[in-house]
């Protein structure tokens, strides 16, 4: 192993880390908001909204992000209507397009995950809330969302980690984040394994921190499930 | 150049190749899901085990296989796997290169990744089982294996189906990365067709549609299983009133 | 409208699939009425209470709360309420204690109790907390205020559920077997709480198996059988011998 | 080791060097040429498709014996694998949208010969004036990328694409003003773009692009390399390469 | 070993965190004993039953079933049983009816009942099914045999849970409030079933709030208070006035 090479590779890759992190943070944030909108439409009971949400989830969950990103970046720009619209200043920018397609895609996945969390809420607890006159947003905010979010958390943490890795595709649209830079290094040096290992370490550390943070959050949100003593946690399940 | 001619089954049409590639993607993903189910079950057992070393091992597996970019894992298995096989061949006296076939290497790589995701799904499903029901099984003296087979597995399957649907989607998309091994699956075939004919949009849209076709087909299968598994559950209403 | 009935139910019917659980039930409750609802397991008592506050929407009949009719309609094979606002308002005046408690698992007992007053009635949190503490004291689980439902014994959960319903200060209370998980001492305590409520003029509809309560606290006893009201009357009439043979057979087991 | 069976890999999606037809067969300039070379070297060759990204690692891992994929002979690559002598040398050129005001930049239609590291060439200076403030698209990690950075990095915005095809799409879409790449590649791309794109400025040729395109082999396989070297020499000498080049590229790329 | 006690518990202690729920409980059950366990809500009755069949592992004390000591040990701050085999064997001889029923939600009622006999005791399915039908008939829910637990009323679930425990033909039965969700008619039915079991010589430990049962069916009454046995004796002794003042206060509410 060539330590000097690994070190310089590592430095080169680290220079691209801010791009990766910016892509990640923005797309997770925007995608999360979009997902809430989509899941709201999906469970709204309104057949039109619900059908729209179903199609949305189907398309963005069902096709590879690579193709989505390609069509959004190179495809949309083909139409002169798009090029002359007020959106063009944004759609012209590779970074904005990358964030847009990442966010659209994760919104489809997250919506489905949130819906799963909602379905896991006990019907009885919902009834108890309805019985004291809660409905609509209040019911969602006080009872449904906290329980559903707790249920959805493990799946959602997986999705967030996937997003971190999905940012790698942004080099397709000329946004050079960590993986893209790694691939460029490889086509310059042909030391595939060494470069990829450096990249892997970076992603592993990032994702490890993310997963740890989620585990902490999960722990904090499950006080009501833990026994107050530790000796008997899950006594039934482990005995 | 009429696009349906390019997508058709005539002498200049790519239809047959694309259909073949779609089936290849389906086959790789199915194989990966099966590999992932076996490995994933073992990893789940380790993660839920009360033995600390096993627990650490299980957690390390899911952290690494979820945390490292898929492409690297595919590289490691495709290239690393063949050096292992080659070394093994040398030991047996065969001198020369022995490779893992692309299909095997690809589905193994995607399968091992899928195992990490499946393990998370199974763990979540296990924790969703009402403790009281497991206690009821304990109380009649049902031994561990019986509990697993009669009470836990059926309910884990029930709770895991939606999550498995998601994992299937992930594996379907991960299978696109196997193109680096040269396997003619859907993504690679779309790209090759696009590059060779310079009809990029046509073939990317066609590829996207074929992926959607696979998705809708598999959604139907998973929905069927979910309906079957939820026969015993009351349907919760979240809508009005 | 002060002379309107707090609760009036006309000819309620409800089916699950082909199984008709309620076959036309009518009931009027006057201000301060304490009505005991008796009946065999599966006779539809819980379902009746759930229909009253619209957790199940009846297939037919009318419900009037405080002189106001609860409106619903059938559309495309589904039954829906006309105005969610109306339902919410009515429900916050109808307290309900569930047979299976249904405490919110992600909140402590205290949080469970103050949830409604603070977030539905929008009352100041400090007041609600003080009242909640008093209520928890009254039902005897003040020391468990910061525990989560999963860590309570059955009886403790049931009392928390009662406190939660009372905290809303509803005009009418619907109790579904409020003492099923309690020991005799606590049954006594809870029944005393209910008796005090009755004396304060609260209207109550109580599904119960406690004949002592039915006989001494309630002023009307309704006996359900297979989805219909078999007989009803004052406790004296019912237990005195004026009731149907079916009721006598039913309580016969108790007298043993 | 006695060479008899040789596995050759190519991408099969880099028209017209190598591409896949709708029957799944790999065709193009290089598949035609390799048939000739193998016959002359008395080798039994099998051509298989693989992905560009995994190609060089796969070669060193032993999955294939030869790469033939318009692989430029560069010093960087020579550190990892060995090359035969070149069988093709191609100039590079700028492309722009036909209706752009950059069409017909100074020197259009001429050829400029350059050597590695050459500075202050007159033709380039003229281009710098016209290209000031424009955006130039290049394929990442190619010899062309280095050239553009060295000569235009200070006056123009440079955007790196993973593939030349992506860059061509953006050139048509107007996100970038200029592209720079292999002229033979552009020739073919222009015919697919139906006149929307055109060359501008001089073609750049000479040793600046290294020795040309050769076959890649493992460093250990010197005997195999020598066999192919002999075959390429004879194919160049009798004009076979030129014939095939005219057939696929409509121009002569033989060195 | 036929003269060994079916169940003997020595000085059992159990804490949850810092909260000591059982503070040293000892109890012997002879063949055919029917022991009523009374006590206020939260006094630790459910916990005691759960300790007996090792759903909770006690922090101290000994448990002997049929002359055989149940072994457990402490290691690294956790308590574990020595031999899972032993526990499984012992448990299949200890029937348990849970306070919260705990029916298996993915199985129909009939499947719930035959599960143990078929898959733990490995008896022929046809026999088990026939017996299960008889049992369901006996507790009055034969018509619900193919329904899932989620679709049953509270009382129906409780009876299914009793049938499930009985189907195992255990030597000792532990009942945790087996009649809490039942109406008087059914209480009568279920108590009759239990009385018949007692007459057949089954050993039973019954947490109950039914003083009628404690007085007439059981041959021993144990009164728990705050994790300790406050007093115990035959029903005549206990209800006759020999018991502690605490017990009298406890049942006083019942006598009202
Ligand atoms: N969601 C449901 N789906 C189908 N059947 C139901 C449902 N809920 C209740 N039932 C049936 O309706 C009947 C009445 O149930 P209900 O819960 O009202 O009885 P109950 O009088 O409250 O009995 P208990 O005293 O045992 O609680 C029962 O036979 C039950 O099986
Ligand atoms: N898992 C647990 N974690 C913490 N505390 C618990 C747990 N289970 C029970 N407790 C506490 O132990 C005490 C005894 O509970 P237990 O369920 O044994 O009471 P019980 O006598 O059965 O009461 P009830 O008649 O209300 O069912 C209660 O105060 C309860 O809060
Ligand atoms: Mg009921
Ligand atoms: Mg209890």
Mean pLDDT estimate for chain B = 82
Whether B200 is in a domain gets the answer yes
Does D56 touch chain B if contact means CB atoms closer than 8 Å? Answer: no
Interface with C, mutate which of E40, E103, E139, E183 (most C CBs under 10 A): E183
Q: Is B78 exposed, middle or buried (0-12, 13-18, 19+ CB in 10 A)?
A: buried
CA-CA distances (angstroms) from residue E22 to A228, E10, E189, E207? 16, 12, 33, 15
- Closest chain B residue by Cα to residue C70: B241
**pLDDT, position A230:** 32
**CA atoms of B169 and B215, how far apart (whole Å):** 7
Choose among E18, E56, E87: nearest Cβ to A232. Answer: E56
> Would you say residue D108 has pLDDT above 70?
yes
> Would you say residue B32 has pLDDT above 90?
yes
> Would you say residue C130 has pLDDT above 70?
yes
> Would you say residue C81 has pLDDT above 90?
no
**Which among E12, E3, E59, E14 is positioned nearest to E205, based on CA atoms?**
E12
Å between D74 CA and nearest CA of chain B: 23
Whether B11 is in a domain gets the answer no
Give the helix, strand, coil percentages of chain A, each rounded to 5: 85, 0, 15
Backbone φ/ψ region at A151: left (φ over 0), alpha (ψ -120 to 50), beta: alpha
A62 forms beta bridges with none
Tell which one of E14, E21, E50, E98 to mutate to probe ligand 2, the residue whose CB is within 8 A of the most ligand atoms: E21
Mean pLDDT estimate for chain E = 84
* Strands, E assignment, chain E: 7-16, 19-29, 34-39, 60-65, 68-69, 72-75, 78-81, 94-97, 172-176, 203-207, 220-225, 228-233
Please provide the DSSP assignment of E48-95 as one string.
Answer: HHHHHTTSS--SEEEEEETTEE--EEEETTEEEES-HHHHHHHHHTEE
Query: Pseudo-torsion of CA B184, B189, B195, B200, nearest 10°?
Result: -160
Helix/strand/coil for A198: helix
Q: Is C184 exposed, middle or buried (0-12, 13-18, 19+ CB in 10 A)?
A: buried
**Which among D69, D31, D88, D67 is positioned nearest to D218, based on CA atoms?**
D67
* Domains in chain B, number: 1
| Average pLDDT over every residue of D75-91 | 87
Choose among E16, E100, E209: nearest Cβ to C184. Answer: E209
Does E144 touch chain B if contact means CB atoms closer than 8 Å? Answer: no
N- to C-terminal Cα distance for chain D?
31
> Would you say residue A103 has pLDDT above 90?
yes
CA-CA distances (angstroms) from residue D10 to B178, B192, D66, D87, D216? 17, 12, 9, 15, 11
**Which among A173, A166, A183 is positioned nearest to A12, based on CA atoms?**
A183
> Would you say residue A237 has pLDDT above 90?
no
Peptide bond into D16 cis (omega under 30): yes
pLDDT band at residue A28, thresholds of 50, 70 and 90?
very high
> Would you say residue B240 has pLDDT above 60?
no
**Which among E148, E121, E143, E120 is positioned nearest to E133, based on CA atoms?**
E143
For E174-191, write each residue's pLDDT tens digit: 998 887 767 777 777 777
Does A143 touch chain C if contact means CB atoms closer than 8 Å? Answer: yes
> Would you say residue A180 has pLDDT above 80?
yes
Whether B18 is in a domain gets the answer no
Choose among B75, B195, B197: nearest Cβ to D14. Answer: B195
Judged by average pLDDT, the poorest of A115-124, B35-44, E77-86 is E77-86
Task: Check B146 against E91: CB less than 8 A apart.
Answer: no
Whether B216 is in a domain gets the answer yes
Query: Pseudo-torsion of CA E248, E253, E255, E256, nearest 10°?
Result: 140
Task: Check B143 against E53: CB less than 8 A apart.
Answer: no
**pLDDT, position C216:** 82
**CB C251: neighbour CB atoms within 10 A?**
21
> Would you say residue B23 has pLDDT above 60?
yes
Judged by average pLDDT, the poorest of A65-79, B9-23, C108-122 is B9-23
Does C54 touch chain B if contact means CB atoms closer than 8 Å? Answer: yes
Atom of ligand 1 nearest to the CA of C50: 18
Task: Check B50 against A238: CB less than 8 A apart.
Answer: yes
- CA torsion through residues A49, A51, A54, A58, sign: negative
Mean pLDDT estimate for chain A = 84
For C145-177, write each residue's pLDDT tens digit: 898 888 887 778 888 998 999 998 888 999 988
**Which among D97, D70, D76, D67 is positioned nearest to D146, based on CA atoms?**
D76
| Nearest alpha carbon, ligand 2 atom 11 | C152
Helix (H) or strand (E) holding E186: helix E184-199
* A71, A97 Cβ separation under 8 angstroms: no
| Nearest alpha carbon, ligand 2 atom 8 | C151
Class of domain A3-238: mainly alpha
Whole-number percent of chain A with pLDDT over 70: 93
* C107, C41 Cβ separation under 8 angstroms: no
Report DSSP state, residue D38. H
For B88-104, write each residue's pLDDT tens digit: 777 776 666 666 777 88
* E231, E208 Cβ separation under 8 angstroms: no
**Which among C237, C238, C212, C236 is positioned nearest to C224, based on CA atoms?**
C238
Please provide the DSSP assignment of A95-158 as one string.
Answer: HHHHHHHHHHHHHHHHHHHHHHHHHTS-HHHHHHHHHTT--HHHHIIIIIHHHHHHHHHHHHHH
Task: Tell me the CA–centroid distance for residue B197 and ligand 4, in Å.
Answer: 75
Tokens of C19: 């199984």
Whole-number percent of chain D with pLDDT over 90: 12
B33 forms beta bridges with none
Look-up of token digits 């710098």: D128
Determine how β-strand D82-83 pairs with β-strand C68-69: unpaired
Look-up of token digits 């801010």: A18
* A172, A95 Cβ separation under 8 angstroms: no
pLDDT band at residue C99, thresholds of 50, 70 and 90?
confident
* D97, D172 Cβ separation under 8 angstroms: yes
**Which among D90, D84, D75, D89 is positioned nearest to D215, based on CA atoms?**
D84
Atom of ligand 1 nearest to the CA of E157: 26
**pLDDT, position C181:** 67
| Average pLDDT over every residue of B49-55 | 88
Tokens of E130: 């026939």
Higher local confidence (pLDDT), E126 or D211: E126
For B101-154, write each residue's pLDDT tens digit: 778 888 999 999 999 999 988 988 888 787 778 888 887 777 788 888 888 888
- B168: Cβ–Cβ under 8 A, 6 or more apart, which residues? B29, B33, B218, B222
**pLDDT, position B94:** 67
**pLDDT, position C1:** 44
CA-CA distances (angstroms) from residue B158 to A150, B185, D151, E114, E174? 19, 31, 64, 21, 31
Q: What CATH number corresponds to the domain at position B66?
A: 1.10.3720.10
Whether B239 is in a domain gets the answer no
**pLDDT, position E195:** 81
Interface with D, mutate which of B5, B196, B204, B207 (most D CBs under 10 A): B196
Whether B174 is in a domain gets the answer yes
Look-up of token digits 């003269």: E3
> Would you say residue E210 has pLDDT above 90?
no
Give ligand 1 pocket residues (Cβ under 6 A): B 234; C 16, 19, 21, 39, 41-47, 99; E 151-156, 183
* Strands, E assignment, E87-159: 94-97
Task: Tell me the CA–centroid distance for residue E134 and ligand 4, in Å.
Answer: 29
| Nearest alpha carbon, ligand 2 atom 31 | C152
For A43-95, write each residue's pLDDT tens digit: 887 889 999 999 999 999 888 888 899 888 888 888 777 778 777 878 888 89
Judged by average pLDDT, the poorest of A77-81, A100-104, B43-47 is A77-81
**CA atoms of A216 and A230, how far apart (whole Å):** 17
Task: Tell me the CA–centroid distance for residue C44 and ligand 1, in Å.
Answer: 6
> Would you say residue C189 has pLDDT above 80?
no
Q: What ipTM, to 2 d.p.?
A: 0.75
Q: Which domain holds residue B140?
A: 25-229
Does A84 touch chain C if contact means CB atoms closer than 8 Å? Answer: no
Q: What angle do CA B96, B97, B103 make, to 5 degrees?
A: 155
């Amino acid at each position: 192993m060539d330590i000097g090479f690994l070190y310089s590779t590592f430095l080169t890759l680290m220079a691209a880390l801010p791009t990766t992190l910016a892509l990640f943070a923005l797309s997770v944030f925007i995608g999360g908001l979009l997902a809430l909108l989509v899941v709201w439409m999906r469970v709204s009971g309104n057949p039109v909204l619900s059908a729209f949400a179903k199609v949305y989830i189907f398309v963005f969950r069902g096709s590879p992000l690579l193709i989505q990103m390609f069509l959004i970046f190179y495809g949309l720009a083909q139409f002169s209507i798009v090029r002359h619209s007020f959106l063009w200043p944004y759609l012209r920018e590779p970074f904005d397009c990358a964030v847009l397609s990442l966010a659209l895609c994760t919104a489809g996945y997250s919506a489905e995950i949130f819906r799963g969390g909602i379905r896991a809420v006990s019907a009885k607890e919902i009834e108890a809330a309805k019985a004291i006159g809660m409905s609509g947003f209040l019911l969602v905010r006080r009872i449904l969302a906290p329980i559903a979010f707790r249920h959805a958390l493990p799946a959602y943490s997986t999705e967030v980690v996937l997003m971190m890795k999905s940012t790698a595709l942004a080099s397709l649209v000329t946004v050079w984040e960590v993986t893209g830079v790694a691939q460029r290094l490889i086509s310059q040096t042909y030391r595939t394994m060494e470069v990829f290992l450096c990249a892997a370490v970076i992603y592993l550390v990032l994702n490890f921190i993310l997963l740890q943070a989620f585990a902490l959050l999960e722990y904090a949100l499950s006080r009501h499930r833990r026994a107050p003593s530790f000796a008997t946690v899950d006594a039934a399940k482990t005995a | 150049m009429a696009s349906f001619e390019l997508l058709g089954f005539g002498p200049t049409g790519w239809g047959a190749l694309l259909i073949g590639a779609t089936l290849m993607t389906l086959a790789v993903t199915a194989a990966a899901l099966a590999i992932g189910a076996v490995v994933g079950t073992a990893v789940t057992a380790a993660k839920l085990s009360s033995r600390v070393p096993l627990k650490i091992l299980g957690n390390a597996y899911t952290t690494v296989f979820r945390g490292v970019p898929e492409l690297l894992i595919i590289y490691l298995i495709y290239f690393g796997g063949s050096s292992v096989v080659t070394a093994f061949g040398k030991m047996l006296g065969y001198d020369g290169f022995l490779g893992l076939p692309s299909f095997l290497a690809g589905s193994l790589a995607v399968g091992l990744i899928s195992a990490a995701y499946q393990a998370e799904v199974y763990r979540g499903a296990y924790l969703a089982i009402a403790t009281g029901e497991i206690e009821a099984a304990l109380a009649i003296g049902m031994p561990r294996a019986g509990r697993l087979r009669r009470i836990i597995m059926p309910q884990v399957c029930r709770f895991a189906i939606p999550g498995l649907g998601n994992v299937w989607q992930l594996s379907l998309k991960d299978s696109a990365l196997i193109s680096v091994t040269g396997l003619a699956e859907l993504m690679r075939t779309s790209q090759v067709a696009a590059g060779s004919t310079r009809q990029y949009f046509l073939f990317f849209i066609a590829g996207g549609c074929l992926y959607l076709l696979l998705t809708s087909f598999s959604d139907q299968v998973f929905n069927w299983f979910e309906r079957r598994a939820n026969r015993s559950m009351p349907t919760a209403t979240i809508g009005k009133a | 409208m002060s002379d309107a009935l707090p609760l009036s139910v006309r000819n309620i019917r409800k089916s699950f699939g082909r199984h008709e659980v309620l076959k036309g039930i009518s009931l009027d409750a006057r201000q301060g009425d304490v009505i005991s609802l008796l009946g065999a397991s599966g006779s539809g008592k819980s379902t009746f209470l759930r229909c009253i506050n619209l957790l199940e929407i009846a297939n037919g009949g009318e419900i009037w709360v405080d002189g106001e009719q609860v409106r619903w309609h059938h559309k495309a094979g589904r039954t829906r309420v006309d105005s969610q606002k109306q339902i919410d308002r009515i429900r916050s005046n109808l307290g309900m204690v569930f047979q299976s408690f249904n405490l919110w698992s992600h909140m402590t007992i205290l949080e469970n109790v103050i949830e409604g007053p603070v977030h539905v009635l929008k009352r100041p949190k400090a007041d609600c907390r003080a009242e909640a503490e008093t209520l928890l004291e009254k039902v005897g689980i003040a020391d468990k205020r910061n525990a989560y439902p999963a860590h309570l014994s059955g009886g403790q959960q049931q009392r928390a559920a009662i406190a939660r319903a009372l905290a809303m200060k509803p005009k009418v209370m619907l109790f579904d077997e409020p003492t099923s998980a309690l020991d005799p001492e606590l049954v006594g305590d809870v029944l005393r709480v209910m008796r005090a409520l009755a004396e304060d003029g609260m209207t109550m509809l109580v599904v119960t198996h406690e004949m002592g309560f039915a006989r001494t606290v309630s002023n009307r006893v309704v006996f359900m059988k297979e989805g219909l009201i078999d007989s009803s009357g004052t406790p004296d009439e019912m237990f005195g011998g004026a009731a149907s043979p079916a009721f006598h057979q039913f309580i016969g087991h108790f007298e043993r | 080791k006695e060479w008899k069976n040789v596995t050759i890999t190519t991408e099969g999606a880099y028209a017209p060097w190598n591409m896949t037809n709708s029957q799944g067969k790999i065709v193009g300039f290089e598949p035609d040429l390799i048939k000739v070379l193998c016959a002359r070297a008395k080798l039994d060759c099998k051509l298989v498709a693989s992905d560009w990204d995994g190609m060089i690692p796969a070669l060193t891992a032993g999955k294939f014996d030869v790469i033939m994929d318009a692989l430029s002979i560069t010093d960087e690559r020579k550190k990892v694998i060995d090359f035969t002598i070149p069988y093709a040398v191609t100039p590079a050129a700028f492309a722009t949208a036909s209706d752009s005001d950059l069409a017909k930049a100074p020197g259009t239609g001429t050829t400029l010969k350059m050597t590695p590291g050459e500075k202050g060439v007159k033709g380039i200076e003229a281009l710098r004036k016209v290209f000031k403030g424009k955006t130039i698209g290049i394929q990442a990690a190619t010899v062309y990328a280095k050239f553009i950075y060295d000569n235009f990095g200070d006056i123009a915005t440079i955007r790196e694409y993973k593939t030349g095809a992506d860059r061509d799409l953006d050139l048509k879409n107007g996100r970038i003003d200029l592209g720079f790449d292999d002229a033979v590649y552009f020739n073919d791309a222009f015919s697919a773009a139906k006149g929307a794109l055109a060359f501008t400025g001089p073609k750049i040729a000479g040793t600046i692009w290294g020795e040309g395109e050769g076959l890649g082999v493992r460093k250990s396989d010197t005997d195999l390399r020598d066999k192919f070297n002999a075959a390429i020499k004879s194919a160049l000498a009798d004009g076979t390469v030129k014939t095939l080049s005219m057939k696929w590229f409509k121009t002569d790329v033989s060195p």
